[in-house]
Structure 1
Amino acid sequence: MVLLVPVVLACLSMVGPFSIDTPFPAFPDMQRDLDVGHDQLQLVVSAYLAAFAAMSVLHGPLSDALGRRPVMLVSLAVFGVASVGCAVAPDLATLLVFRALQGLSAGGATIVSRTVIRDVFDGPMAQKLMSRVSVIFGIAPAIGPIIGGLLLQVGDWPLIFVFHAALGVVLAALVVVLLPETHPRERRVPLRVGDVVGGLLLVGRRAGFQRLAWSTALIFGAQFLYIGGAAIFVVDVLGEGELDFWKLFVPMIGAMMLGSWICGRAAGRITARRLVSVGCSIAFAGGVTAVLVAATPVATDLPWAVVGLSVIALGNGMTYPTLQLLMLDEFPERRGAVMSLSSFLALLLNAVTAVAVVPVVGSSALGFAVTALVLVGAGQLCWAWHCALGDRDCAVGDAPEGREPVDLL
């Protein structure tokens, strides 16, 4: 179980990010074949993210009521059908419809899979396994554009979405064969609209959850700024080609994987609070570095252009697994709802970033860097606020019953 769960869950959690950026190298071909402008084609990203965010609030509560496996299997089946629809789409409007359907279904694997670890494991073991999942999960954004570029060497852009469909079939088979049901019937909640909505409201009303969720979303949002705007940053800002996306993604994701590895090694050795605080500080230092580099003549020269981003990703890798566990421990009986609502907030931020922020700041490396620094700084402030209130509650003996303050793990 310990050996299989991280691999299977990491593969499932890869569906979301992998589906976002695999088509990036095909944007010039898609723009030509669909006869649309670059700004219109950016909707291929934002439609997926908006749909993912909208449905993300339901995947977790559904898994709390029906079990983890059924939700993941149905979602993967729909994802496969939607991918085929994208492959045969004759125009942009049809492509966007099926791309949105991809987004609606991808969360069943990406979101629900993360609850399984906390269903089964506690304490340092949960942190170690969550960090291992994050390491493997981090590969997806790096290999997505690379695989997309390689597929373009043997076929046209619809082949990328055929590959998505095949991925859905393979992952469904892995769930059936290797992943047990970790949420037994006696622990499930009723499948009623009132219970689903009530559970989400219960989670969303807790201030501690909001602080942790926004800290996670904002710090990762600084990294996603470059992921969602990769087609602009790599091609327009850096002047690279369709096979050069690896120059952005490999160092960024490599740094995030290193941070996740550090997080796993730190489990049981230092508190969650100290680990997250150090990670936040490293990410902020990366944001400052990115701005300083972007203000120099080497702003668009590699590798300097991605040094600051890589440091942000290192800090994010150290904080992300632990922050997720801290959120899940806010509501042990509503883990699916916790994961859904936190994912919704992050995806909503990412969708706004992709559709509204990237087109505005994406004209220069400095625009990307300043925006990333603002996001990281805001995330660090949310974490500092959470720590300060945790200290206050601890001092007055006012921590919520059954939970320690921040340094839980």
Structure 2
Amino acid sequence: MTDPDDRTPAGLQPWQATVAPIAIAMLGMLGPFSIDTPYPSFAHLQTEFAVDATVTQQLVSSYLLAFAAMSIFHGPISDAVGRRPVMLVSLLAYSVASIAAIFAPSIGVLIFCRVLQGLSAGGGVIISRTMIRDLYHGADAQRLMSRVMMIFGLAPALAPIIGGWLATVGSWRLIFGFLGGLGLLLVGVVIVALPESHPVERRTPLSIRALLGSMAGVVRTARFHRVTWAGAFLFGAYFLYIGSAAIVVVDLLGQGETDFWKLFLPMIAGFMAGAFVSGRTAGRLSRNRGVAIGIAIQLGAAALGVVLMLAPALRTLPWAVIAPAILGFGVSLAFPPIQLAVVDMFPKARGAATSIAAFLTLALNALTAGLLAPVITSSLLAMAIAVLGFTILGALFWVWHLRVDHQVDRQ
């Protein structure tokens, strides 16, 4: 019998089937690299431009808000013109924005360049997720999504380490040069490794009316919102630590610019372990059961985090990273099947569904990084309580989704 993992999807050469998961994961890694690589340079930026941590935190929220705003359009446009053109144009624009940031004379100009980065980065990050469902089906799709998340999970661990090294040997400008080079590298990856996965006969008309119509069809679906917000809050709980890392590592844990790995490494280890388990159980465990197990683990981790941070003596390493590590395991079990559930609702508008789901998730993350992070990072206990709150909200949305689906099935 042939292992499902060994089947070559239609449209892929055997060698492309081997490298496609790596290529798609590399495209997905652009997001966390864009967020996490500049973190170690925040202290230098505050000194050079005479600003405080609240201002440099906007380098995160401005990028995320722009990413979220443009993410609405990447998917629908790719439904009309194909996946590759959208990815290639977006990656080239991202590279130009990154290189422009090298020459920023003020924090305002640098924030503007971050906005341009955010507007363009989603072309690779979001469309690569859509390609998974274009090429793979059922359990195979979950296996690939899990493999991609395992590789993708390395990015938040590697990015601040690379950023810290670049900030040490050069300056924050070198970091943006690195990001520009990464964008150009990904252009080459798309050209060489990824074929067009959305053939002409499946495309929607390229018109404002058609694009808005496909988006409206997604937005009007109540089931889409229940599932999407479940995933958004569950991942948002994990992202609270990522989006606040500059404050958590330096201010709350008292570490240096090269010590971000002390937070990220345990988190990513848990995340990758969960993604591995998700891939191994694909086809053996139902989608709903897999999500339920992931949510249960995440709830337990979030509650453990609050309990540990109630003791002032434990608000330090290694105690402060135990709950985030387990949280990463839970979210990477639940998130891949939730993403696939969203895309499967709209087989004729996968790009639109992926885009709008990404927009809602990113908008939540951007507001978290820009507005909530400065408030909840007053202490590690406040962080833990916020993480528990987000996890509970995600669980409630998922339970709501299951109850409504059960009622519909009974009718």
TM-score (norm 2): 0.95
Residue 171 of structure 1 aligns to a residue in which SS?
A: helix
Query: Aligned AA for 1:326?
Result: A
Matched, 1:264 2:268: no
C-alpha distance in 2 between matches for 1:275 and 1:37 = 43
**Structure 1: gaps of 5 or more residues:** 397-409
Shift in CA distance, 121/35, structure 1 to aligned 2, threshold 3 Å:
same
2:197 to 182, 187, 193: 182
1:46 to 61, 79, 95: 61
C-alpha distance in 2 between matches for 1:25 and 1:298 = 26
Alignment of 1:3-82 (within 5 A): 3-82=18-97
Which residue of structure 2 lines up, in the alignment, with residue 400 of structure 1?
none
Matched, 1:125 2:153: no
1:374 to 389, 393, 399: 389
Matched, 1:292 2:304: no
Which residue of structure 1 lines up, in the alignment, with residue 108 of structure 2?
93
Matched, 1:349 2:364: yes
Which residue of structure 2 lines up, in the alignment, with residue 104 of structure 1?
119
**Is the CA contact 1:298–1:304 (under 8 Å) kept in the aligned structure 2?**
no
C-alpha distance in 2 between matches for 1:213 and 1:4 = 29
Shift of 1:299: 3.3
Matched, 1:281 2:296: yes
Shift of 1:204: 1.2
Which residue of structure 1 lines up, in the alignment, with residue 178 of structure 2?
163
**Is the CA contact 1:298–1:305 (under 8 Å) kept in the aligned structure 2?**
no
- 1:244-266: CA deviations, max 9, x gaps? 10011111111111111111000
Matched, 1:389 2:404: yes
1:311 to 319, 326, 345: 326
- 1:148-172: CA deviations, max 9, x gaps? 0011222111000000010011100
Which residue of structure 1 lines up, in the alignment, with residue 225 of structure 2?
210
Shift of 1:297: 2.7
Q: Which runs of 4+ in 1 moved over 6 A?
A: none
Query: Aligned AA for 1:148?
Result: G
Shift of 1:99: 0.7
Query: Aligned AA for 1:91?
Result: S
Which residue of structure 2 lines up, in the alignment, with residue 302 of structure 1?
317
Query: Aligned AA for 2:222?
Result: A
Query: Aligned AA for 1:230?
Result: A
Which residue of structure 2 lines up, in the alignment, with residue 255 of structure 1?
270
Overall identity of the aligned pairs, in %: 48
RMSD: 0.8
Query: Aligned AA for 1:85?
Result: A
Shift of 1:273: 0.5
- 1:104-128: CA deviations, max 9, x gaps? 0000000000011100111111110
C-alpha distance in 1 between matches for 2:152 and 2:209 = 34
Which residue of structure 2 lines up, in the alignment, with residue 359 of structure 1?
374
C-alpha distance in 1 between matches for 2:65 and 2:131 = 25
Shift of 1:42: 1.0
Residue 169 of structure 2 aligns to a residue in which SS?
A: coil
Matched, 1:151 2:166: yes
Which residue of structure 1 lines up, in the alignment, with residue 249 of structure 2?
234
Which residue of structure 2 lines up, in the alignment, with residue 402 of structure 1?
none
Query: Aligned AA for 1:380?
Result: A
- 1:157-205: CA deviations, max 9, x gaps? 1000000010011100010011100001110001111111111111011
Paired residue total: 396
Shift of 1:2: 2.6
